[in-house]
Amino acid sequence: MTILLALSLPIGISLGFATALTLVYTDSVPLIMIAQNAFAALDSFPLLAIPFFMLAGSLMSYGGISKRLVTLANAMVGAVIGGLAMVTVTACMFFAAISGSGPATVSAIGSFMIPAMKAKKYDDDFAAALTAVAGSIGVIIPPSIPFVIYGVVSGVSVGEMFVSGIIPGIVIGLSLMALSYRIAKKKKYPRAEKNVAIGHAFKEAWWALMVPVIILGGIYGGIFTPTEAAVVASVYALFIGKYVYKELDFNTIYDAFKDAALVNGATTFMIGLSMSFATFLAMEQVPARICEWMLSLSSSPAMILLIINILLLTVGCFVDNISSMIILTPILLPIVTKIGIDPVHFGLVMTVALATGFVTPPYGANLFVASAVSGVNMVRLSKAVGPFILVMISCLLLFTYIPSISMSLVWMLR
């Protein structure tokens, strides 16, 4: 699998081919296991949340919601030194609460904010790097597609995973804003121009801001499941884009559905073959052996968590977030449960660590999107993103060793 990934083959194909090649040399397991497990894994009601959250995010992007969220963020924090940087992070936090995807957040907010920052003489590599990292919040503040994946693979409540990401997502956003303020002050970046009153901006963005309220309120009010919440979010996004903001017509609706279908097709293919790979690992007791080996290295929970974080950060440099989640959860979850870590807390830590992979070279998905939007080449972007990665890692360690940051709301709801 590592060789195929190094040859730049798609991750789904690399996983499937690696599994098939292994089964050819394994007498006890027939090759048909790959197809059987791939289809069995995708025959899951909770997994239906993924295409619908993708569709909701796509409809919101085309329906003018991201533009109104940027306007609201500008009215709230634009007057601060380096205001456009603050607006970028705040808008990414808002969009994260309605999209569930890191690259989608970078694309939706970056298409507005990167040109705006460049026009105000912000360094283009800074603008692109900040947007790429802030977009990672898209998978931490609920709803989150990786949270759905982790919930399905581990068996924990998707609703609890959603709640665990609220405070960490805000903490990461504030940390990025603090670093941006320091850089802006040093480089004398200007404040943003406040074009609209905060009351008017809030009124315009009100319909968009109701999305996370409907999703989380509906789930914890017992009205619908996370999958049904994703369907409601899609219908709601279609309604407000078409009849409230009036920016969705037949062509834009078609484009939104097409984009969601293409991304979901690639994701579903990858998920199915990842589950086949994970099933084979379980059959060969690879997770159990790795668990025994890691526990033999140290009996200290703090040291084991540090080793796991280093592993996750390394894997995130090379493997997609969703594939990593599916492959590594069955391996690592038995280890952390043996040392007394709550599975929901570990899911949050795992998501933040792999979300850092969105912006770590050479295969950071957010970096590719930000590079395409900004025109900044990957070498410059990879250098500019360094200080922001350190902020992400600092937050990761904070969440790892202070569980109450992510678990306090979960404990209140249990």
171 and 395 in contact (C-beta within 8 Å)? yes
Q: The whole model's pTM is what?
A: 0.84
- Tell me what pLDDT residue 194 has: 64
In this predicted structure, what is the pLDDT of residue 40? 81
Closest CA to 135 of 72, 61, 77: 61
Look at the block and give the residue holding tokens 């759905």: 148
pLDDT given for residue 27 in this prediction: 63
Query: H helices within 143-225, ranges in order?
Result: 145-154, 158-164, 166-187, 198-220
The angle that helices 343-356 and 145-154 make with each other, rounded to 10 degrees, is: 140
Query: How many domains does the structure of the chain reveal?
Result: 1
Mean pLDDT in order along the chain per 10 residues (414 residues): 77 80 76 81 80 84 81 82 88 82 80 85 90 90 88 88 93 94 88 73 83 82 85 90 88 90 80 78 75 78 91 81 82 88 95 88 78 83 91 95 93 82
What range defines the domain where residue 278 resides? Answer: 2-413
> What pLDDT was estimated at residue 398?
96
Rounded to whole angstroms, how far apart are CA atoms 359 and 370? 10
User: What is the C-alpha to C-alpha distance for residues 373 and 134, in angstroms, rounded to an integer?
Assistant: 15
pLDDT of residue 348: 96
Instruction: Tell which phi-psi region holds residue 402, choosing left (phi > 0), alpha (psi between -120 and 50) or beta.
Output: beta
